[in-house]
Chains A and B, each alone.
Chain A
């Protein structure tokens, strides 16, 4: 599978959570997601509007990603991060 051309986001730019590189921090702006269970799960895990997320670790095979938020770490797949809009801080 060929990787999509990666958009590099810099401070202040908006994009998807999946576009971030390791060490970048961003604030969550909104969700768009039609899978109700997934959406609810993300909310329950603390991914709500305004929360700050940092990309901590990336699995050796490139996916999933370990993010840090609300004082803990969460593993999540890139594909599920695509539905989360963010702004880099």
Chain B
């Protein structure tokens, strides 16, 4: 069987998809999480199921609606599963009335039915099912209630056939019949005649030319009679029909102030909303970087590289624990030495592989914490509030509150951030958002931020970390204003979005989300980062004539890497405070592959030089001061993103040329900014 899952945004579609297929799609409590359609399989029943993007209507105006509409019309589907948020029935059934006009059977899954009962809404399911002419199964995708019944209904084919109920007044129904019968033209999709005849009546963009003279007269007469045009009339009549059905089958309890209203009095408060937002985001980053990061960073590093003692820090307090650890790297190197391995083989494992991996892994705990916090904010519905109250600001920039979602997702990883710009309806708005998302520090860039703020700004480390985010926001605002001025775009953007109710976070889905992101991060660390760490080690451990650099006869100053770095170090001259530094140059260059690679490369170079850590005496980076560090980090944060992001950008902009323009601007901008900071550092000395 081939099934498709369709429903409004934020109706729990992805939750149901996960529950049916067992796969891990991302679930959030903001409208529009499914970016493109996703296919999954239910092996037990040899069926495939397609998760379509959340839509409110089968109109052709937004990319998501277009994707879903074309898919449903062109694909030979056995069944549509229409997921409905039972707590907002009227709006949800609007899409249902459209689906029932297609020549496909529809099963309606009434999601969040537990909430319906809790709210005291009484729905006569059997009666409603009869009225609509489609089977309804109440479910809760969150708790799993009703899912077995839904599966049984679908796969044992116990559902009602689509009867194509005539829901419009007789004159309109006559027009529909006439259009189907007499108007002799090749239907675009011959299986969906009723649907298409109604589109003809609505004068839908794709069906405008199909109206003949006789039908035109009939059409005009009806419009005159109801004093509405076809499109408005059909929408009104659908809602009239839904109201009628609702009155027959549903009883609502008396209206009272909901929990969401009470919470919004705080979170959307006129004065306090923005301070609360800043405090919440500040706490999220403080908890992740200063507490979790401070407690684990050195420990993990010591576990891999060995140390005489382990330093734990919480904010400005730190404690040096006298724990002596040999470390995984030295341990393996010693074992290799015992079985007679050569010096360079030991160094390859200890420095090339283990140290490179360690520096990335040591950031995993704080990233987990960050992912966890963001996932909680997302599923509870707070993110939707942020989009709502920041829309005014985004509007001024020529964007909408919806652009916030890509930025917040981008704070995790730029790639899905850029992909989620598909929920931005306006094409121009979307392009601007794509160009600006890479400015938000992603979690790979967070490794650079964490390193710099811990090494140079100790007590005020988390403030410096936050300052990078604020700098990013300032850059985004200025760039957006600049683009708006230069392109002189007409202000025609809109922001029409549902405000979902607050929900308690669902631990299962938060767990899945955090797990997925962590694994994705870890996989990159284990593959890309280790691969390039080994390359850096090789280039830094051998001279151009492949003599092993053991630190006595040759030093790292004679390495291949040095010669490579010398070739590009002019580019970083101003950034590094008027200094030609090959080591920092080659490290920054590697940011193109992955941003984690910058610090990983620095670590490998420092260790190959015999230094204990990146900025320790003896390291080529020992000259770094707070300002050089800030300038160097700024360049890495705001210049060209990694190759993964570039391919996502190219894909979403649908043009390599546009992508190159964007990255050229970003590179130039980052270079200017970082150079200015670097030069400033030279002057104040």
Give the residue among A40, A51, A66 with the most B Cβ atoms within 10 A: A40
Within 8 A of A (CB), among B43-102: 56-57, 59, 61-62, 87-91, 94
Residue of A nearest to B246 (CB): A71
Shortest distance between the CB of B411 and any CB in chain A (Å): 22
The interface-forming segment of B262-270, B314-322, B331-339, B662-670 is: B262-270
Q: How far is the CA of A73 from the CA of B668 in the complex (A)?
A: 44
Known: A44-B59, A74-B498. A49 touches B271 (CB 8 A): no
Do the beta carbons of B94 and A74 come within 8 Å of each other? no
What are the 9 A-B residue pairs with the smallest beta carbon separation, nearest first?
A72-B88, A44-B57, A61-B392, A43-B235, A60-B273, A70-B90, A37-B61, A48-B236, A73-B499
Given contacts A43-B231, A48-B235, contact A77 B391 (CB under 8 A): yes
What residues on A are CB-neighbors of B271 within 8 Å?
60
Task: Give Cα A35 to B490, complex, Å.
Answer: 13
A64 touching B232 by the CB < 8 A rule? no
Q: A44-B59, A74-B499, A75-B496 are in contact. Are A63 and B228 (CB under 8 A)?
A: no
B87 neighbours in A (Cβ, 8 Å): 71
The B-contacting residues of A in range 69-89, CB under 8 angstroms, are 70-77, 80
Residue in B205, B235, B497 with the greatest tally of chain A CB atoms within 10 Å: B235
Contacts of A49 in B (CB 8 A): 228, 232, 236
Nearest CB in chain B: distance from A49 CB, A:
6
Output the nearest chain A residue to B493 by Cβ-Cβ distance: A77
- Give the total of B residues in contact with A, Cβ under 8 Å: 42
Give the contacts of A25-68 with B (CB-CB under 8 A): 31, 35-46, 48-51, 56-57, 59-64, 66
Q: Is the interface of B mostly helix, strand, loop or mixed?
A: helix
Q: How far is the CA of A49 from the CA of B389 in the complex (A)?
A: 28
- Known interface pairs A41-B496, A59-B268, A74-B498. Does A64 touch B388 (Cβ–Cβ under 8 Å)? yes
Residues of B within 8 A of A36 (CB): 61, 205
Option from B89, B94, B496 in Cβ contact (under 8 Å) with A80: B496
In-complex Cβ contact of B90 among A31, A71, A76 (8 A): A71
Residues on A with beta carbons closer than 8 Å to the beta carbon of B232: 31, 43, 48-49
In the complex, per-residue mask of B222-250: 1 if CB is within 8 Å of any chain A CB, else 0 = 00000010011001100100000000000
In this assembly, does B494 line the interface, its C-beta being within 8 Å of a C-beta of chain A? yes
Chain B residue contacts of A57, Cβ below 8 A: 261, 264, 268, 499
CB distance from B15 to the nearest CB of A (A): 19
Q: How far is the CB of B174 from chain A (nearest CB, A)?
A: 23
Give 1 or 0 for each of B117-131: 1 = CB within 8 Å of chain A CB: 000000000000000
Query: Beyond A41-B59, A72-B91, A80-B495: 14 further Cβ-contacts under 8 Å?
Result: A42-B496, A49-B236, A57-B261, A60-B389, A61-B392, A61-B393, A66-B499, A71-B90, A72-B498, A75-B495, A75-B498, A75-B499, A77-B494, A77-B496
CA distance A36 to B231 in the complex (A): 10
Residues from chain A with a CB closer than 8 A to the CB of B425 are: 37
Q: Is B157 at the interface (CB under 8 A from chain A)? A: no
B190 to nearest A CB, angstroms? 26
Are B392 and A46 neighbours in the complex by a CB distance under 8 Å? no
How long is the Cα–Cα vector from A42 to B388 in the complex, in angstroms? 18
Contacts of B61 in A (CB 8 A): 36-37, 40-41
Residues A45 and B56 in contact in the complex (CB < 8 Å), given A66-B499, A74-B497:
yes
Would you call B395 an interface residue if the criterion is a C-beta within 8 Å of the partner chain's C-beta atoms? Answer: yes
Interface status of B166 (Cβ within 8 A of chain A): no
Residues of B within 8 A of A37 (CB): 61-62, 425
Known contacts A46-B239, A49-B232, A75-B391; A64 and B91 CB within 8 A of each other? no
Is there an interface contact between A74 and B395, defined as CB atoms closer than 8 Å? no
B264:A74 contact, CB within 8 angstroms: no
User: Closest B-chain residue to A43, C-beta based?
Assistant: B235
A35 to chain B, nearest CB (A): 7
Question: Is B274 interfacial (CB-CB < 8 Å)?
Answer: yes
Cα distance A37–B389 in the bound complex, in angstroms: 24
Contact A59 B496 (CB under 8 A): no
The chain A residue with its CB closest to the CB of B89 is A71
B239 and A48 contacting across the interface, CB-CB below 8 Å:
yes
- B214, CB-defined interface residue at 8 Å: no
- Within 8 Å CB of B393, what residues of A? 61
Cβ distance A17 to chain B, nearest Cβ, rounded Å? 13
